Amino acid sequence: MSSSARPDANHTHAALLDAGEALLASDANFSMGAVARRAGVSRQAVYLHFDDRFALLDAIVKRAISQSGADTVRARLLDAPTADGALELLVEATVAIASRHGALERAVRDVVASDAGLSARWAARPGRGEVMRTVAQRLHDEGRLRPALDVPSAARALRTLTAGDVCIGLFDIASREEVAAMLLRAVRAAVCR
SS3 126: coil
Domain spans of the chain, in order of start: 7-50, 69-191
Q: What is the pLDDT of residue 82?
A: 94
pLDDT band of 191, cuts 50, 70, 90: very high
pTM for the full model?
A: 0.71
For 153-188, write each residue's pLDDT tens digit.
Answer: 999 999 999 888 888 889 889 999 999 999 999 999
Tens digits of residue pLDDT in 86-144: 999 899 888 888 887 777 888 888 898 888 988 888 888 876 678 889 899 999 999 99
Residue 179 neighbours by CB under 8 Å, 6+ apart: 95, 167, 170, 171
pLDDT bucket at 7, cuts 50 / 70 / 90? low
pLDDT score, position 68: 72
Q: Give the CA-trace dihedral at 173, 187, 149, 140, to 10 degrees.
A: 170
Q: What dotted CATH number matches 69-191?
A: 1.10.357
Query: What pLDDT score was predicted for residue 183?
Result: 95
Q: How far is CA 153 from CA 6, 25, 37, 90, in A?
A: 52, 32, 43, 17
**Is pLDDT of 74 > 80?**
no
pLDDT confidence of residue 4: 41
